[in-house]
Amino acid sequence: MSSDLVIVYHRQPYEEVEEHGKTVFRENKSPNGIVPTLKSFFGRVDHGAWIAWKLAEDVKNPGFEQRIEMNDVYGKYTVSRLPLTSEQVREFYHVTSKEAFWPILHAFKERYNYDPVDWQNFRDVNRAFAEAAAAEAALGAVVWVHDYNLWLVPGYLRQMRPDLRIAFYHHTPFPSADMFNVLPWRREIIESLLAADIVGFHIPRYAANFVSVARSLLDVTEVARAKVPDQWINEGTGLTERSVTERLEHNGREVQVSVAPVGVDVDFIEERAASKETARLGADIAAELGDARLILSVGRTDYTKGGVEQLQSFERILEAHPDLHGKLRLMHVSVSANRGMEVYAAVQDEIEQTAGRINGRFGKLGWQPVSLMSNAVPFDQLIAYYQQAAVAWITPLADGMNLVCKEFIASRTDGKGVLVLSEFAGAAVQLSAAVLTNPYSHRSMDHAILAALEMSDTDVRARMEALREAVARDDIGAWGDWHRIAFEDVAHAPAPRDQASRLSA
Ligand code: GDG
């Protein structure tokens, strides 16, 4: 059965496990991601489809059903599993996407590794995703493609199926032309993105960067521009833009450049935060902390997340402030999502060495300044840590959005806790009540964490109230609603010029 909505996302929308010799599909253990929100779109259409890859030794004989039909609380949908060999996955995901694209997207030119890229393989894999999507899509269907590892999918799809409405969403930052144009495949990528009807980003700056890159490479015309809403103007971050292009024209077609920041499921987090289980876990943590105050840091093991720089700041603080010894505990959760990749193993080593050095230099019987967790913490436990933390210390060097800081805020139903946030996380644009810091500056980093620790109760509460308002306003539901409206618009859009300006509305 063909589908009115096709979601193209590299991961499958469930966990596939063996139980008593049978394969069963379970909801993802970590329910806090965007996958449930994406699946909720299937409830609004007659039939949906999800395209993802699945490892196979032989793609012609994968040894699993390529198409499976799901019927769950989200509705009826097909999951089309594209068989890829481990070599194809390594080349397209670990090499091209992670070694060449990822550093450029996050403005780390010096880490960009072009030499091992097999561009033809990247094209082939993207074309295979596009073919799988084209095979599922009904006439005029919406196809929603996610993230930079599928950059070429819109271009191929447009050639295969001119009738489709194509939307593309970036979860990462989008860099300026000086940075993006380091990629030798820049024109091919931008041409593909301009074949979509909607190209989406977390914040206005990334949209503005995309437009400047497009202008640098191709003839594009700005069709509509809008003022950025006041709640996304934050003087404390270098990521703020005041107005942004809403629509572009290229080759006689209009493309919507959209801004919709991903949020968290506030209701779900608040429900977990109020559970007996979380309260019990929280009491254990409080007992273990005793009189010490908890500083919490959570992020994937990745050089973009700034884990090493943060530990170095903690070391400087302990060196300069012996009065704080014994009074602080830093819990650093750093979980590797790409084990086996050299670059992440090196980051993990450096984190472990720095934490070990801090504990060796300052620790004493009964007080270990840093606790390092390299394995994923169950989500209820994570919420309990969020609730017990005096400070959440989230200081990526660059981050598309950062959902950890929003989860922390959603968990603080008690109105307490301070957020110290990097001004280079997309979330900083929305969270002006955080203590913002520049992770490239020692002085700014050290000052921010000390300011957070010294903040008065009144100030803590006032800031948390403002943060909670911002996170509730732009929650995951708002992100979903934004897209639902945008898809309806493009589905009925013979004349996109007549659309009302959404940003300025
Ligand atoms: C990309 C962009 C953008 C982490 N450790 C544990 C754990 N987590 C969960 C967090 C959070 C998620 O992982 C991380 O989300 P982020 O947004 O911080 O980061 P990325 O993985 O880099 O995601 C990012 C995002 O896409 C969405 O568009 O915000 O900028 O890079 O949900 O809670 N969860 C559990 N245990 C852990 O130890 N259960």
Regarding the beta carbon of 268 and ligand 1, being less than 6 Å apart is answered no
- What is the model's pTM? 0.94
Alpha carbon of 405 to ligand 1 centroid (Å): 10
| Distance in angstroms (rounded) separating the CA atoms of residues 21 and 118 | 38
| Distance in angstroms (rounded) separating the CA atoms of residues 155 and 168 | 11
Alpha carbon of 333 to ligand 1 centroid (Å): 12
Residue 376 Cα: closest atom of ligand 1: 38
- State the average pLDDT over residues 102-108: 97
| Distance in angstroms (rounded) separating the CA atoms of residues 348 and 340 | 11
Predicted confidence (pLDDT) at residue 498 exceeds the cutoff of 80 = no
Classify residue 247 by burial, with Cβ atoms within 10 Å: 0-12, 13-18, 19+: buried
The yes-or-no answer to whether 3-263+476-504 and 266-472 have a common fold is: yes
Residues 317/329, Cβ–Cβ less than 8 Å: no
Q: For residue 277, give the amino acid letter.
A: E
Helix (H, G, I), strand (E, B) or coil at 426: helix
Pocket residue to mutate for ligand 1, from 351, 401, 422, most atoms within 8 A of Cβ? 401
Alpha carbon of 494 to ligand 1 centroid (Å): 38
Task: Residue 368: count other Cβ atoms within 10 Å of its Cβ.
Answer: 15
122-179: pLDDT as tens digits: 999 999 999 999 999 999 999 999 999 999 999 999 999 999 999 999 999 999 999 9
327-376: pLDDT as tens digits: 999 999 998 877 678 888 899 999 999 999 999 999 999 999 999 999 88
Nearest residue CA, atom 26 of ligand 1? Answer: 171
Regarding the beta carbon of 137 and ligand 1, being less than 6 Å apart is answered no
Regarding the beta carbon of 88 and ligand 1, being less than 6 Å apart is answered no
Alpha carbon of 160 to ligand 1 centroid (Å): 34
Regarding the beta carbon of 32 and ligand 1, being less than 6 Å apart is answered yes
At residue 395 the predicted structure's pLDDT band, cuts being 50, 70 and 90, is very high
| Distance in angstroms (rounded) separating the CA atoms of residues 385 and 273 | 10
Nearest residue CA, atom 10 of ligand 1? Answer: 404
Provide the pLDDT for residue 494: 57
- State the average pLDDT over residues 186-206: 98
Pocket residue to mutate for ligand 1, from 28, 202, 297, 402, most atoms within 8 A of Cβ? 402
Nearest residue CA, atom 9 of ligand 1? Answer: 404
Q: For residue 261, give the amino acid letter.
A: P
Domain 3-263+476-504 in CATH 3.40.50.2000: yes
| Distance in angstroms (rounded) separating the CA atoms of residues 326 and 362 | 9
9-20: pLDDT as tens digits: 988 998 888 888
Alpha carbon of 125 to ligand 1 centroid (Å): 25
At residue 402 the predicted structure's pLDDT band, cuts being 50, 70 and 90, is very high
Nearest residue CA, atom 38 of ligand 1? Answer: 376
Predicted confidence (pLDDT) at residue 29 exceeds the cutoff of 70 = no
Pocket residue to mutate for ligand 1, from 268, 372, 382, 403, most atoms within 8 A of Cβ? 403
Domain boundaries, the chain: 3-263+476-504, 266-472
Regarding the beta carbon of 401 and ligand 1, being less than 6 Å apart is answered yes
For 285-349, strand residue ranges (E) read 293-300, 328-335
Classify residue 360 by burial, with Cβ atoms within 10 Å: 0-12, 13-18, 19+: exposed
Provide the pLDDT for residue 139: 96
- State the average pLDDT over residues 273-289: 96
* CATH architecture of the domain with range 266-472: 3-Layer(aba) Sandwich (3.40)
Alpha carbon of 504 to ligand 1 centroid (Å): 30
- Closest listed residue to residue 153, CA positions, set 123, 117, 181, 184: 123
Residues 32/273, Cβ–Cβ less than 8 Å: no
Q: Are strands 75-84 and 328-335 parallel, antiparallel or unpaired?
A: unpaired
Provide the pLDDT for residue 65: 92
Alpha carbon of 402 to ligand 1 centroid (Å): 7
Regarding the beta carbon of 111 and ligand 1, being less than 6 Å apart is answered no
At residue 457 the predicted structure's pLDDT band, cuts being 50, 70 and 90, is very high
Mean pLDDT of the chain: 93
Residue 171 Cα: closest atom of ligand 1: 28
Q: Identify the DSSP state of 388.
A: H
Regarding the beta carbon of 68 and ligand 1, being less than 6 Å apart is answered no
Helix (H, G, I), strand (E, B) or coil at 152: coil
Predicted confidence (pLDDT) at residue 225 exceeds the cutoff of 80 = yes
In angstroms, the first-to-last Cα distance of the chain is 38
